[in-house]
Amino acid sequence: MPEDGTAVVAKRVDSGSADLGEITELARAAGYSVVGELTQSREEDPAYEFGEGKVDELAALVRRSDADTLVIDNRLGPYQTYNIGQKLPEGVEVVDRFTLILDIFGQRAQTRKAQLQVELAELRYELPRAEAKASLAKRDERPGFMGLGEYDESRERDIKAQIANIKQELDAIADKEETRREQRRESGFDLVALAGYTNAGKSTLLRRLAAELDVDENEDLHPDLEATAESEDRLFTTLGTTTRRAETGKRNVLLTDTVGFVSNLPHWLVESFKSTLDSVYRADLVLLVVDASESVEEMREKLVTSHDTLYERNEAPIVTVLNKIDRIDDDELEEKKAALTALAPNPVAVSGKTGENVEKLQARVESELPAWERERLMMPLVDDTMSVVSWIHDHGHVETEEYDDDHVLVEFEARPAIVEQARAKAADLTPVESA
């Protein structure tokens, strides 16, 4: 993380007014103090991204504020980066949106999986730049042309080989995690994932619903979920996933929180973190958390982007959760529900902070999960019977349990696979023969 780094943030949009809110938060998450900002509304300049005159303004702002970094909330090509850098004071770094995000990811990566995903994203970001260097060098026979670095013909091949190796290792990790998910389902658990933008309150909601501490020691615990910590208003606290047992009612639910979405992420970056997002894609139910205190326009934009990310691979039903209703009044909430009904039909409105309506969310989770099957088993009372009854209690919801001298009757609900296992266990019980 930059030590006492200072940054000017800037953004160009084709039309309208540019919003610097998210890029400012991203810069702060990376460790910068934001000391200046500038925007422009015009079509992209192929040489500078901004108009050349606006770049001169940026350079002057950087000098006045004594910033050491210029953060641009656009994707810059290698030539644009070089051209802008030439106008800045010596030593000032030019960082575009995606370089900044990769920097944050790199700071947060603690597990091997997270580190591999960051490395994969960095290589995918570098590949077109290596290809540009190769193309330029071949054409102009000037290896160091435009300050792009010396051309190395093998670099492009090395990057592609590294990408292939990392993908292979991530696939192996994904296979292990899929096996773990199936083992959890076979143990009677339903898997629910929290999705949504950073700072929508997912971690606070996880804390509110959690029945116990993290159940997976191999995954990163969110720092804001430590027993003595408060939830942080901070982007990308971790790249790891946190899974906790959740209180919803009669179902056995494991609730997983993962990295939040960020707007305008390119496909290659989302694809690099597919392994982390698998906990969302492969869930039985997804809770899409939205900050209800934001404007309708912001909520709509984030819902559209979230749907684009989720519906590409997700197979589970999605329930929209309008969080932070403690920050708005009832009339405003109803207006927002009406305005967003096409994107968020029948949402659940809650406050993770105060707990308001959390019981309605718990009931909705139970109603949306895959249907359970009802079963009625009559089992002989033998040495192994009580272990089977205990297993049914652990893996389903027992409604009645009746005993007589020779038998026990158990009526319960459970996942279809659990019912099949219970039937098999009951069939293996051998009645005691009368003398």
- Residue list, annotated binding site: 196-203, 238, 257-260, 323-326, 351-353
> Which residues, other chains included, contact 212 with Cβ-Cβ below 8 Å and sequence gap of 6+?
244, 245
State the sign of the Cα–Cα–Cα–Cα dihedral 169, 175, 176, 177: positive
Beta carbons of 378 and 392 less than 8 angstroms apart: no
Q: Which residues are 95's β-sheet partners? A: 71
Report d(CA 225, CA 216) in Å as an integer: 14
User: Containing H/E element for 41?
Assistant: strand 32-41
Q: Which residues are annotated as a binding site for GTP?
A: 196-203, 257-260, 323-326, 351-353
DSSP letter, residue 49: B
Q: Which residues are 36's β-sheet partners? A: 8
Radius of gyration of the chain (CA): 27
Beta carbons of 350 and 360 less than 8 angstroms apart: yes
Report d(CA 266, CA 71) in Å as an integer: 18
Q: Which residues are 40's β-sheet partners? A: 12
State the sign of the Cα–Cα–Cα–Cα dihedral 26, 30, 31, 34: negative
Identify the three-state secondary structure at position 317. coil
Beta carbons of 114 and 275 less than 8 angstroms apart: no
Q: Which residues are annotated as a binding site for Mg(2+)?
A: 203, 238
Report d(CA 235, CA 219) in Å as an integer: 19
- Rounded to the nearest 10°, the torsion over CA 139, 143, 144, 145 is -10
List the structure tokens of 417: 């696979």
For the chain, what is the largest distance between any 2 Cα atoms, rounded to a whole number of angstroms? 102
Nearest Cα residue to 191 out of 275, 261, 286: 286
List the structure tokens of 124: 């995918």
